[in-house]
């Protein structure tokens, strides 16, 4: 199986995916930003990199068409968004239906969008976390594959809380991709995700870190 990873920045999730040594080839890492430090992680790992700057395009639609062309030139089975900070056109999302994953730093459907950790702190929630989901046209609302929960501590600030969540991101993203590659993820007609166990029956997904 061939995977293309899209990034915009640091690339720590990319690094975790690489470290997980999945049964797949990461054929390219593509960034919409030239200065994304995640590109260096890919280069160090000997993976092809490409940059397509959204600032070079007149519209979101034109950029996404060019991005699809670039992605498809690597013939991926799966496209993984790992800190790719772009809102996607419907055409882009439909083109990769069922094979486009994203990680979001909150327990969706709470805190879709930006500044998730600050918003969680402002609300005084006691549990926070992260979500891997299929991407659909509505931002951060696709079928949920896996979530991990962390406590919010009285002493937390954005830095400490985001670091705690990020540690979990690095666990659940490789796990979700592994499940997808093993064809264990079942997307039901009601848009719920179940997991096939080794006897071929479906179970609900509740991740306990094991
Ligand atoms: C992560 O928190 C991810 O959930 C969000 O953007 C951040 C990317 O971090 N979508 P990194 O580039 O993987 O380090």
Which one-letter DSSP state was computed for residue 51?
Answer: E
Nearest to 80 by CA among 128, 165, 15, 167: 15
pTM of the prediction?
A: 0.96
Answer whether residue 193 shows pLDDT above 80.
Answer: yes
% of the chain exceeding 70 in pLDDT: 100
Domain ranges of the chain: 1-96, 104-210
What pLDDT is stored for residue 9 in this prediction? Answer: 98
- Average model confidence (pLDDT) for the chain? 96
Among 106-120, 151-165, 191-205, the minimum mean pLDDT is found in 191-205
Q: Give the Å distance between the CA of 82 and the centre of ligand 1.
A: 6
Confidence of residue 210 (pLDDT cuts 50, 70, 90): low
For residue range 17-57, list pLDDT tens digits in order: 999 999 999 999 999 999 999 999 999 999 999 999 999 99
The order of strands in the sheet holding 185-187 is 185-187, 193-196, 202-204
Helix or strand holding residue 123 (H, E): helix 116-123
| Fold equal for 1-96 and 104-210 | yes
Among 166, 168, 174, 177, which is best to mutate for testing ligand 1, by the most ligand atoms less than 8 A from CB?
166
Q: What is the pLDDT of residues 89-127, one digit of tens each?
A: 999 999 999 999 999 999 999 999 999 999 999 999 999
- Pocket around ligand 1 at a 6 A CB cut-off: 7, 9-13, 38, 82-83, 103-105, 166, 169
Is 54 a known active-site residue? no
CB of 165 closer than 8 Å to CB of 7: no
Closest residue by CA, ligand 1 atom 7? 83
Residue 203 — pLDDT band, cuts 50, 70, 90? confident
Q: Is the Cα torsion angle 40, 41, 47, 52 positive or negative in sign?
A: negative
The CATH number of domain 1-96, selected from 3.40.718.10, 3.40.50.170, 3.90.1150.180, 3.40.50.300: 3.40.50.170
- Which residue matches tokens 């395009």? 57
Report the pLDDT value the prediction gives residue 46, as an integer from 0 to 100.
98
Q: How confident is the model at residue 195 (pLDDT cuts 50, 70, 90)?
A: very high
Among the four given CATH numbers 3.40.50.2000, 3.40.50.170, 3.30.1330.100, 3.40.50.150, the one describing domain 104-210: 3.40.50.170
**For residue 35, what are the contacts with CB-CB under 8 A and spacing of at least 6?**
none
DSSP state of 65: H
Cβ atoms 194, 186 nearer than 8 A: yes
Q: CA-to-CA distance for 110 and 91, rounded, in angstroms?
A: 26
């Amino acid at each position: 199986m061939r995977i293309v990873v899209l990034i915009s920045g640091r690339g720590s999730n990319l690094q975790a995916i690489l470290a997980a040594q999945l049964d797949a080839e990461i054929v390219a890492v593509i960034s919409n930003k030239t200065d994304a430090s995640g590109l260096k992680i890919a280069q160090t790992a000997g993976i092809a990199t490409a940059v397509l700057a959204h600032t070079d395009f007149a519209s979101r639609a034109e950029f996404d068409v060019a991005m699809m062309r670039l992605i498809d030139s690597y013939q991926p089975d799966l496209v993984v968004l790992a800190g790719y900070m772009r809102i996607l056109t419907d055409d882009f999302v439909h083109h990769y239906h069922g094979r486009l994953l994203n990680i979001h730093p909150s327990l969706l459907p709470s805190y879709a969008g930006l500044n998730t950790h600050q918003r969680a702190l402002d609300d005084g929630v006691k549990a926070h976390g992260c979500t891997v989901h299929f991407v659909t046209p509505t931002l951060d609302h696709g079928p949920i594959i896996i979530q991990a929960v962390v406590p919010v501590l009285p002493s937390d600030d954005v830095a400490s809380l985001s670091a705690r969540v990020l540690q979990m991101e690095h666990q659940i993203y490789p796990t979700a991709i592994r499940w997808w590659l093993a064809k264990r993820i079942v997307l039901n007609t009601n848009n719920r995700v179940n997991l096939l166990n080794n006897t071929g029956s479906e179970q609900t997904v509740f991740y306990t870190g094991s």
